[in-house]
Amino acid sequence: MFGDNIRNVPEGMTIENNPWLSKFKEYGIDVTYKFVATNAEDMTTKINLAIATDDLPDIIPVNSTQYKDLLEADMLADITDAYDRYATDEVKNLLNQDGGLMAENAIVDGRRFGIVLPTQFADYVPVLAYRADWLEEAGLQPPGSMDDIWNMAKTFKNNKMGGTCVIGIGLTKNVLDLLTPSVGLFNALHAYSGIWLEKNGTLAYSSIQPEYRDALGMLANYYAQGLIDPEFGTKDMKAMWEDAISGRSGVVVSHFCAPFDVINGVKLEQEWAYSRMFPTDGQPVKAQNSAAFSGGVVYSAKGMNPEAMIRMYNLYEKFTREDFATYNDNAVLNFAYPIYVGVVDANPKIYREYNEFITTGTKPAKTTQGFDGVLEAAEKYRLNQDIEGGYIMYSIFGPEGTEAAVDYAILNDGYMVSAFTGATTDNMALYGANLKTIEEQMVISIIKGDQPIGSFDTFVADWKANGGDVLTQEVNDWFSKR
């Protein structure tokens, strides 16, 4: 999968000719991409089409539904022997970082049918990014509560800071997607969208709970006060960041990657700061995550060399470790996809190591994979204010970086993980799209005030009647069998 990086492929590299393919070839594995996609949705569509037309590549990244269908149809190769024989200990260790919790999903009757990455969600906590220069100009203190955040947004907007600020806080049109501002705000208000919560020994759907209703009511209130971008319904993440960088808004609810966008503003001499999200009460903010089995990488039963795939994992691990600078560049890393295996919770680990380095001045004895690259870049900014070379890394891993919020969440019970960790069921696939559509419509119309908060109750009834009750029954059956 080639995300936005397809547009910044390094000079001299192409889809046919790049460091990863050359490296694989050097070790006798001739790799060609059957197809490339620009985002996850596109990839899912293309794999679905490949399955429907029985035109699968040998190595296939699949989601849980595709995995289940392929497995049932005997279209997956048994890679047990190849894995046992070829996989290096380093690769095995990386894949079992969560104690084999996720890998279990790829093992049937003791035989292995795919590579599943260990579960990791530590990074996915909401992080606030705001204009530090405006904060000072307005004479405010850095936020310490939910009210402070909204007050800051209000002050920025009412004073038309920078002569341009007209938006309080921006949202995006996909209000229910993970890492969007809306979900960050829900979580800060102790509401969760689209995950399963354990309540009194049974599983309940988070989107029909009273906390969700309350959170929507509060957001509707902020919207009515003009503190939420009235145009959010047509904006994607890119458009939201354009507003921030062009000075139209000064408070962004984001995540640990925020500096990747903020840097464009910093180049325009804006000053930004990061902080964790604060709750309305004393309860910790819990970032939601569905630690469900989301898929893995499998080998087609028609393919001849499952060991080649395992050896690619070995090479991947070896060269991202030994030649970090060449092979771990984001744009280059894309060329190895779907072969990828990272260190679980590497970022918070690197954050701690880097901050230890700053305070003590010496490198920790044992560092996490990737530490050296981070250190090199971040120091460029810390010591020489080299924005291009190190702002992003320093703003993520530095003492006041976005990973500070992640570290805080790890230490302070900051996660709400879905209680359902099984694979997507047939009924979830069947009803899912429609249930999500009615939830999206409900959330947007309540926030914008097009519908009164009472319409939440209609939504709950609709949700239950249109497959929700079936799903509830299904996950509870799964839960009671555990």
41 binds another protein (CB under 8 A): yes
Pick the binder of another protein from 22, 225, 437, 480 (CB under 8 A): 437
158 binds another protein (CB under 8 A): no
| Size of residue set near another protein by CB under 8 A | 37
73 binds another protein (CB under 8 A): yes
Q: How far is the CB of 438 from another protein (least distance, A)?
A: 6
93 binds another protein (CB under 8 A): no
Binding to another protein (CB under 8 A) within 231-250 occurs at: 231, 233-234, 248
Q: How far is the CB of 249 from another protein (least distance, A)?
A: 11
372 binds another protein (CB under 8 A): no
Nearer to another protein, 396 or 444 (CB): 444
Q: How far is the CB of 100 from another protein (least distance, A)?
A: 27
Q: How far apart are CA 403 and CA 56, in angstroms?
A: 39
Token look-up 């988070």 returns 206
Nearest alpha-carbon partner for 155 in 147, 254, 276: 147
Q: What are phi and psi of 97, to 5 degrees?
A: -60, -25
Nearest alpha-carbon partner for 29 in 301, 305, 303: 305
Q: How far is the CB of 431 from another protein (least distance, A)?
A: 9
Nearest alpha-carbon partner for 128 in 244, 32, 242: 244
Q: How far apart are CA 438 and CA 132, in angstroms?
A: 38
Q: In a 10 Å sphere around its CB, with 0-12 CB exposed, 13-18 middle and 19+ buried, how is residue 481 labelled?
A: exposed
154 binds another protein (CB under 8 A): no
| CB-based contact 369:346 (threshold 8 Å) | yes
Q: How far apart are CA 280 and CA 272, in angstroms?
A: 23
166 binds another protein (CB under 8 A): yes
Exposure string over 16-51, b if 16+ CB within 10 A, otherwise e:
eebbbbebbeeeebebeeeeebeeeeebbeebeebb
> Of the listed pieces 88-96, 153-161, 225-233, 268-276, which binds another protein according to CB under 8 A?
225-233
Q: Which residues pair with 300 in a beta bridge?
A: 76
Pick the binder of another protein from 132, 257, 438, 470 (CB under 8 A): 438
Cα 458 to chain centroid distance, Å, stands at 31
> Of the listed pieces 45-53, 208-216, 217-225, 346-354, which binds another protein according to CB under 8 A?
45-53
432 binds another protein (CB under 8 A): yes
The interface mask with another protein, positions 387-426, x = CB under 8 A, is ----------------------------------------
Token look-up 């939201």 returns 240
Binding site for another protein (CB under 8 A): 41, 44-45, 48, 51-52, 65-66, 69-70, 72-73, 75, 166, 173-175, 230-231, 233-234, 248, 429-430, 432-434, 437-438, 440-441, 444-445, 448, 450, 462, 466
